[in-house]
Amino acid sequence: MRIEKLTRKGKEFAVIPMEDLQKLIEDAEMLADVRAYDAAKGRLDRGGDELIPLEITSAAWPGKARSESGVIIAR
């Protein structure tokens, strides 16, 4: 990664190629997803949260089509 440092009005800025910026953004989004998963898994492991069986959620939202994995499919 090539980084160019600029100073304007006493503030420092870094200039990087757009493809490097995009990679940094994707990596940050992935890290946020991993942290959210870890937090949810931790709540489950500590008993602070629970899973709801598909049969109950299906009954709660009648008329919604679901894929085999349980994802709601818009009609």
Q: How many CA atoms lie within 13 A of 49 on its CB side?
A: 10
pLDDT tens digit sequence for 14-40: 999 999 999 999 999 999 999 999 999
Residue 4: predicted pLDDT: 95
Higher pLDDT, 66 or 34: 34
Kindly give the residue spans of alpha helices, DSSP state H, lying in the chain: 18-46, 54-60
pTM: predicted TM-score of the whole model, two decimal places: 0.58
Q: Could you tell me if 73 and 65 are in contact, meaning their C-beta atoms sit under 8 angstroms apart?
A: yes
Between residues 35 and 69, which one has the greater pLDDT?
A: 35
Q: If you ran DSSP here, which 8-state letter would residue 49 be given?
A: S
* Separation of alpha carbons 22 and 69, rounded Å: 31
The domain limits of the chain are 18-73
pLDDT of residue 61: 67
